[in-house]
Amino acid sequence: MTHTTAPLEGKSAIVTGGSRGIGLAIATELARRGAAVTINARKAEPLDEAAEQIRAAVPGARVLPVAGNSGDPATRAGIVEQAVAAHGGVQILINNTGINPQIGSLMEMDPVAALKTFDVNVVAAVGFVQECYRAGMKDSGGSVINVASIAGLRPAGPLAIYGASKAALIKITEELAAQLGPNIRVNAVAPAVVKTKFAELLYAHDEAAVAAPYPLKRLGEPQDIANLVAFLAGDESSWLTGETVRIDGGVGTTGSFG
């Protein structure tokens, strides 16, 4: 296989939850590897700022920010439509948007919050795949990467509902891979704690203590996830589909959730 400095040149990607953290790192890395990138988040201002950050990091990057609630079917259709109009199609979809409004015991579960969690973390992800499929990925082929969590692979304590939604996303990844091959590959990544604003409550009180059970003795950085996702998006992983890749600094080997 020929390796180039821009292995995703000519590809168009959508990254949901792309205004900060893991999503922003993924979008930047995809752009660095040559892809045209459409980023989505709910609020326009931070999304526009993220687009400028990508352009600053990758001169000449083609970046389209499209604000809107990914939990809304009409919004999903509009995001994909604009990506196709701007970049000629969609070959890469990164389902990164995730919410966690419910923290606590399952005995304290708020059904409304639980339904919202599954709607955004699972249903919206499938919805984006449907839209990309109808918009041309069915024929052009492509790669879908779902950002799951180590919480979807083991008991997650007070993050149980979030973990259950990520477990569902992992199952959906397998089902989509079985249904959409050979033209479309579908994989997932399952990070442990990554140093983002979204995860601050899990580590900000004592980062060293939280990282102590990790064999690599540090928490994840957004770029760690971005590097893996970019690999899964490209042709170097062309015989890989239906997999969930745990990326957790080794904490999964210790029996600790981290």
Catalytic positions, written as ranges: 162
What does 108-155 look like in DSSP terms, one character per residue? Answer: G--HHHHHHHHIIIIIHHHHHHHHHIIIIIHHH-EEEEEE--GGGTS-
| Eight-class DSSP state of 208 | H
**How far, in Å, CA of 46 to CA of 19, rounded?**
6
SS3 236: helix
Is the Cβ–Cβ distance between 188 and 147 less than 8 Å? yes
Q: Are 120 and 70 in contact (CB under 8 A)?
A: yes
